[in-house]
Amino acid sequence: MKVSIIILHYKNVQDTFDCLRSIGKQIFNNDYIEVILVDNDEKSSLNDHISELEKLLKKITILTPTNNLGFAKGINLGLKKALEDKKTDYFLILNNDTVLPGDTLIKLIANDADIVSPVLKFKSAKGEWVYDYGGKINWWTGRTTHVESANKPINQSTNNPISFDLDYVSGCCMMVKRKVLETIGLLDERFFFYFEDVDFCLRAGKKGFKIRVDIDTVICHKLGSSIGRWSKRAIMYNLISNFKFIRKNLGVRQVTGLIYLFLLTLKIIYNRMVKHI
């Protein structure tokens, strides 16, 4: 049983090191862990740190595209490399700004879902911890919402588990079985950043694959540390990808979705230019 972990590096080398350090501390046998780092930051090179990286992990490969490929295309580059090894059963898509407890891999693999994510723990703007349990799609607007709570997840072994009817889990940390990739293919590269995970889970769900959040597994996510969660670039990528998602997946309801997106864009422009929010 081999796990290939695909990490997209973009800025913040320290975040990547913290992430890799947590992978190196997994109680899962490190002989069966392969890490593929896609260096998406054209202004720096992880190859400059290769000796330090090799001290953290036994098997690490660095892929260096000549320019920033975006999230979907960058992850796909790593997935294609990982799929070459037929012994690899599980593929973990992972953000570089995450830190994994030592039992993360074992728990995700033990979950019988075809696509599984841990609960994501992050700090709110007020500095309070928030727990993210996956997401839902509004099929009239084409927008997504995360199921979030200030409460820690209940341990399934001692209490009734929290259960949600989910449409997707976050690509921030997503364990995918080989059969899913072989059936539906890779991430849709038309999404440069945002909505690629939503689209991927939607395609998998249509093929009958089970998608789940493992309530017993919680990881820390620094949330948007590479470009900023509410930066102008992040908002731009979100709106563009949302447009592509609506056009691809909403069918006859894309009319309401596009109207909503247009009004949302006007609201954002107004808040930024007039109210300076």
Read off the CATH number of the domain in which 197 is found.
3.90.550.60
For Cα atoms 65, 23, 193, give the angle at the middle one, nearest 5 degrees: 40
Does residue 218 carry a pLDDT above 90?
A: yes
> What radius of gyration, in Å, describes the C-alpha atoms of the chain?
19
Instruction: Please answer whether residues 198 and 246 qualify as being in contact, where contact means their C-beta atoms are separated by less than 8 angstroms.
Output: no
**In 10 A of CB 159, how many CB atoms?**
10
CB 244 within 8 Å of CB 261: no
Give the C-alpha separation, 194 to 273, whole Å.
24
Report yes or no on whether pTM surpasses 0.95: no
Q: 29-33, 97-101, 193-197, 218-222: which has the minimum mean pLDDT?
A: 29-33
Q: Answer whether residue 96 is part of any domain.
A: yes
- Which stretch of 64-73, 79-88, 169-178 has the lowest confidence by average pLDDT? 64-73
Q: Who has greater pLDDT, 54 or 34? A: 34
> Count of domains in the chain?
1
Identify whether the C-beta of residue 243 lies closer than 8 Å to the C-beta of residue 258.
Answer: yes
Q: Which tokens sit at 90?
A: 């599980």
In-domain check, residue 231: no
Q: Which domain holds residue 157?
A: 2-223
Is the pLDDT assigned to residue 38 strictly greater than 60?
Answer: yes
Q: What is the arithmetic mean of pLDDT over 249-265?
A: 96
For residue 258, being part of any structural domain is answered with: no
